Amino acid sequence: MCQLLGMNAHTPTDVMFSFTGLATRADEHKDGFGIAFFEDRGVRLFVDHHSARQSPVAELVKGYPIKSRNVIAHIRKATQGHVALENTHPFMRELWGRYWVFAHNGDLKGFDPVLHAAFRPVGGTDSERAFCWLMQELAKAHASVPTVEELTRTLRELLPVLARHGTFNGLLSNGQALWAHCSTHLHWLQRRPPFGAARLADEDLSVDFAALTGPEDRVALVATQPLTHGEPWTAFAPGELRVFVDGDPWPVGR
């Protein structure tokens, strides 16, 4: 099973601590990694088909305090598609003059939709194929960038279609919000004042967030499995879609 990490924040925030925890899990998920940082309308996208444990690109990300309000990261354990750069998540496409970023954990069987020229997969993964279909259907449903509420309603109709083909744990962002859908394993956490200390679950590393944050900071994290000890991670229910805006969760039901 691949591992996902998403972050949505009220103010631009770096994700070095959480990404270090995610990269530690690359011993079992060694088929590549990627991470995307939204900065205003732009995106910094780093991908490598080598393990995050060994990649110099991963070392760069661990030590580079890129501040963003929306981040999606993924470490891969290949199921469909060989180990190659074009099959490495997250994937990015443009729609309505905005970048969209997507990462998926799971395995979709028999999903072979008809795709038109605007959205075609470059690699051979079921994940990228699902993303292209999702972008195509969003383009059909809306003439321009919809509100977060409108887009959430559309995603609640579309994502179950994908989930019917297998396991669909996915993260999606256009820089305005972070959407997270769970089929099997996904957890979320909000950090807000008063901030405390946290220790990684897989690495001997801790951070005192009280010394690094201000009263306006709020950060929501989503991960396949909890990344830290001693923090109140909450498991998603199977079939649940959650939206995070400005570091706050939007409960949207199932």
- The single-letter DSSP state of residue 14 is -
Section 192-200 average pLDDT:
87
When the pLDDT of each residue in the chain is averaged and rounded to a whole number, the result is 89
Instruction: Express each pLDDT in 62-118 by its tens digit.
Output: 888 999 999 999 987 656 556 678 899 899 999 999 999 999 998 899 999 999 888
pTM greater than the 0.95 cutoff: no
pLDDT at site 77: 61
- Give yes or no for a cis peptide into 194 (omega within 30° of 0): yes
38 vs 52, higher pLDDT:
38
Spatial distance between the Cα atoms of 22 and 4, rounded to a whole number of angstroms: 8
226 — phi, psi (to 5°)?
Answer: -50, 135
253 — pLDDT class (breaks 50, 70, 90)? very low
pLDDT at site 2: 75
pLDDT at site 85: 85
1, 2, 131, 153: the active-site residue: 2
Is residue 32 within 8 Å of 87, Cβ to Cβ?
A: yes
Instruction: Express each pLDDT in 137-187 by its tens digit.
Output: 999 999 999 999 999 999 999 999 999 999 999 999 999 999 999 999 999
Catalytic annotation present for 2? yes
Token look-up 């059909």 returns 140
pLDDT at site 31: 73
209 vs 120, higher pLDDT:
120
Domains of the chain in start order, with CATH, are 3-251 (3.60.20.10)
pLDDT at site 90: 96
| Angle subtended by helix axes 148-163 and 126-141, to nearest 10 | 140
